[in-house]
Chain A
Amino acid sequence: MAHDHHHDHDHEHGSELSDMQLRTRALETILIEKGYIDPAAIDELIETYEKKIGPRNGAQVVAKSWVDPQFRKWLFEDGTAAIGSLGFGGRSGNHLVALENTPSVHNMVVCTLCSCYPWAVLGLPPLWYKSAPYRSRTVADPRGVLADFGIALPKDTEIRVWDSTAELRYLVVPMRPAGTEGWSEEKLAELVTRDSMIGTGVAKSPKELT
Chain B
Amino acid sequence: MNGGQDLGGMHGFGPVEPEPNEPVFHAEWEKRAFALTLAMARPGGWNIDMGRFARENRPAGEYLAMSYYQVWFAALESMMKERDLVAEDEIAAGHSLHTPKKVERVLSPADVLKVLHRGGPTERETNTKPAFKPGDRVRAKTINPPTHTRLPRYVRGRIGEIERVIGCHVFPDTNSLGAGENPQWLYTVRFDGRELWGPQGDPTATVSVDAWEPYLVPA
Contact residues of A with B, CB < 8 Å?
A: 1-3, 6-12, 17, 20-31, 33-38, 40-46, 48-50, 53-54, 89-95, 112-115, 120, 123-124, 126-128, 130-137, 139-143, 145, 148-149, 155-168, 195, 200
B15 and A133 contact, CB distance less than 8 A: yes
* Contact for A136 among B10, B34, B36, B205, CB less than 8 A: B10
Partner of A145, one of B16, B26, B44, B101: B16
In whole angstroms, how far apart are the Cα atoms of A148 and B15 in the complex? Answer: 7
Residues from chain A with a CB closer than 8 A to the CB of B109 are: 38, 40-41, 43-44
Q: Is there an interface contact between A23 and B204, defined as CB atoms closer than 8 Å? A: no
Write the chain B residue with the least CB distance to A33: B96
Q: Is the CB of B34 within 8 A of A21?
A: no
Which of B8, B96, B121 interacts with A95 by CB under 8 Å?
A: B121
A37 touching B19 in the complex, CB below 8 Å, given contacts A30-B96, A136-B11, A159-B202? no
Residue of A nearest to B27 (CB): A17
B101 to chain A, nearest CB (A): 8
Asked if residues A113 and B152 are in contact (CB atoms below 8 Å), the reply is yes
Nearest B residue to A130 via CB reads B68
Mask: chain B, 64-98; 1 = CB below 8 Å from A; 0 = not: 11011110010011000000011000110011100
* Neighbouring B residues of A134 by C-beta, 8 Å: 16
Q: Is B141's beta carbon under 8 Å from chain A?
A: no
The CA-CA distance from A120 to B116 in the complex, in Å, is 9
In the assembled complex, 11 residue pairs joining A and B whose CB atoms fall closer than 8 Å, in A order, are A1-B65, A23-B73, A30-B94, A30-B96, A38-B108, A54-B24, A112-B152, A114-B55, A124-B24, A142-B205, A148-B18
Given contacts A23-B29, A126-B22, 16 further A-B pairs with CB under 8 A are A8-B13, A25-B32, A27-B73, A36-B85, A36-B100, A38-B109, A45-B34, A48-B112, A50-B24, A90-B117, A94-B120, A95-B121, A112-B152, A126-B18, A140-B8, A140-B154
Distance in angstroms between the alpha carbons of A43 and B31 in the assembled complex: 9
Q: Are A166 and B212 in contact (CB under 8 A)?
A: yes
Kindly provide the distance from the CB of B131 to the nearest chain A CB, expressed in whole angstroms: 17
CA distance A1 to B219 in the complex (A): 44
Q: Which of A21, A29, A112 has the most CB of B within 10 A?
A: A112
Which residues of B from 4 to 21 have beta carbons under 8 Å from A? 5-11, 13-19
Distance A40 CA – B110 CA, assembled complex (angstroms): 9
- Could you tell me if B112 and A35 are in contact, using CB atoms closer than 8 angstroms? no
Structural contact, B196 and A48, CB atoms closer than 8 A: no
